[in-house]
């Protein structure tokens, strides 16, 4: 058998009518469900892992509007490797969360939030 020419590829995508990008898009489709285009609290609860749902269901203060997606992004960007076992890394995460949360957020509630984050492997 002759080796392929430079312009020929050996991937199965070159032999089919589907492109790689189309394959990636279809891979995440759920048959029978139309996925919403906007991210809402209901969307997060329905299509996300348990750790993210726990963050949405956390006992947030009812008098202040908190963007849970933003808090999730702060946690993912700030947490360091092994933060759950290191007090200094926990304090750094708490400092970042404290600056991202509203002014009147109670310290006890922040401790409960960090305890919730420790319980889930996604945040470790």
Domain of residue 64, residue span = 41-123
- Has residue 48 been placed in a domain? yes
Q: Residue 34 pLDDT > 80, yes or no?
A: no
- Has residue 59 been placed in a domain? yes
- Has residue 62 been placed in a domain? yes
Model-level pTM greater than 0.85?
Answer: no
- Has residue 54 been placed in a domain? yes
- The rounded distance, in Å, linking the Cα atoms of 57 and 54 is 5
| pLDDT, tens digit, 9 for 90 and up, residues 55-73 | 888 999 888 888 888 999 9
Please give the pLDDT value at position 71.
92
Into how many domains does the chain fold? Answer: 1
Q: Which residues contact 13 (CB under 8 A, 6 or more apart)?
A: 19, 20, 23
Please give the pLDDT value at position 56.
86
- Has residue 29 been placed in a domain? no
Kindly state the average pLDDT of the residues 16-38. Answer: 49
Average pLDDT, the chain: 76
- Has residue 88 been placed in a domain? yes
């Amino acid at each position: 058998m002759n080796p392929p020419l430079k312009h020929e590829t050996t991937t199965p995508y070159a032999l089919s009518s589907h492109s790689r990008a189309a394959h990636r898009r279809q891979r995440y489709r759920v048959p029978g469900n139309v996925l919403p285009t906007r991210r809402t609290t209901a969307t997060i609860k329905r299509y996300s892992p348990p750790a993210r749902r726990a963050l949405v269901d956390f006992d947030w203060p009812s008098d202040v509007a908190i963007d849970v997606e933003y808090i999730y992004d702060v946690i993912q960007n700030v947490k360091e490797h092994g933060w759950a076992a290191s007090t200094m890394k926990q304090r750094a995460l708490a400092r970042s969360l404290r600056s991202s949360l509203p002014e009147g957020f109670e310290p006890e509630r922040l401790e409960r939030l960090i305890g919730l984050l420790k319980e889930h492997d996604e945040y470790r």
